[in-house]
Structure 1
Amino acid sequence: MTGGPEPLSAVAREALERELADLRTEREAVAVTLRDGGGDEVGDRADQADELQRADELDRLAGRITEIEGRLREGAVAGAPSTDAVRVGSSVTVRFADGTESTVQIGELANALDATLVTADSPLGKALLGHRAGDTVTYDTPEGRATAVVVSLG
């Protein structure tokens, strides 16, 4: 990518916001199960191990929440996707070798519900990044090497 703040597509933003809400709910559920740390309860090793595992889970959840919040802030700072070269968030019309054209969105997160989304780390996504209208890109598919022409960015 560019090394600076990367734009965030609407689809990616929605997915991150949903994940963030789910993680916050999960974190609250795990936090409720932890003991307050004080008191005179004497538990066996299994209880202690379980509590340590829940504390580790809280740490993992907190880390992912922080990561998503940072990415959402970065996406807001980056502004709209570029229309001069393909970047994350760009909408790109490509013409494949068989003559068919397709408009795809370059995103960060795979979304099975959005057939037009191409992730930036997929073979086609990587090939398109940084290119402009009129450029021909080559990428690998399960059937072998393929080419596509960048028709337009929008």
Structure 2
Amino acid sequence: MAGEPEPISPAARRALEQDLADLRAERAAVAATLGRTDSEGDRADQADELQRADDLTRLDDRIDDLTVRLRQAATAGPPAAGVAGVGSTVTVRFDDGTTQELHIGEIADEDDSALVTARSPLGRALLGRRGGDAVFYDTPTGPRTATVESVGDAPAD
């Protein structure tokens, strides 16, 4: 995560903390299975052991990422009033004239069709913007333009 630390909403913080707890529990379960062979075993056993070791590395990397993200968010503090950040609700007018209220989030949520993640092209374009600002972002069909109509607080949990 490059640049200045981005603040996150209380709901995003809770989601990241829960994800971190789940990853730590999964890591403990995988780590407990390593080295449990009483004999040398066959190649399949060795391959399984290597896969679990790879899983541990993947889990450790994700745990480190989330720990750093939570630390950065604490350093950044809450989003500034009137400036789009993680946790903000942003009303956007797209270049086709439609208007939509979007929530900028840290983690994708399939149940929230109005959520854009801060890492998506539109989410990155919205970060740091104020009402009246034009934003430019890429889509699979080409570059697009939108205008920030307004920036508000995070939606109520």
Q: TM-score, normalised by structure 2?
A: 0.75
Equivalent-residue separation in structure 2 for 1:141 and 1:49 (angstroms): 41
Q: Amino acid of the residue matched to residue 10 of structure 2? A: A
- Gaps spanning 5+ residues in structure 1: where? none
Deviations 1:127-148 (A, max 9, x none): 3233221123344556665443
Equivalent-residue separation in structure 2 for 1:71 and 1:118 (angstroms): 18
Q: Compared with structure 1, are the counterparts of its residues 4 and 46 closer, same or farther at alpha carbon in structure 2 (3 Å cutoff)?
A: same
Deviations 1:94-147 (A, max 9, x none): 234565433222223221112221122333223323322112334455666544
1:94 equivalent in structure 2: 92
2:25 equivalent in structure 1: 25
**Which of the numbers 62, 72, 89 marks the counterpart of 1:74?**
72
User: For residues 1-154 of structure 1, what are the structure 2 equivalents within 5 Å?
Assistant: 3-35=3-35, 41-97=39-95, 100-141=98-139, 146-154=144-152
Q: Compared with structure 1, are the counterparts of its residues 125 and 14 closer, same or farther at alpha carbon in structure 2 (3 Å cutoff)?
A: same
Equivalent-residue separation in structure 2 for 1:53 and 1:143 (angstroms): 38
For the 8 Å contact 1:111–1:117, the answer to whether it is kept is yes
Q: Percent identity?
A: 61
Q: Compared with structure 1, are the counterparts of its residues 98 and 63 closer, same or farther at alpha carbon in structure 2 (3 Å cutoff)?
A: closer
The CA deviation at 1:89 is 3.1
For the 8 Å contact 2:89–2:151, the answer to whether it is kept is yes
- Gaps spanning 5+ residues in structure 2: where? 153-157
Equivalent-residue separation in structure 2 for 1:144 and 1:58 (angstroms): 39
Aligned to 1:94, what secondary structure does the other structure show?
Answer: strand
Equivalent-residue separation in structure 1 for 2:44 and 2:139 (angstroms): 49
Q: How many aligned residue pairs are there?
A: 152
Cα RMSD for the two superposed structures: 2.8
For the 8 Å contact 1:20–1:68, the answer to whether it is kept is yes
For the 8 Å contact 1:83–1:90, the answer to whether it is kept is no
Bigger Rg over Cα: 1
Q: Compared with structure 1, are the counterparts of its residues 79 and 42 closer, same or farther at alpha carbon in structure 2 (3 Å cutoff)?
A: same
Q: Amino acid of the residue matched to residue 132 of structure 1? A: R
Q: TM-score, normalised by structure 1?
A: 0.76
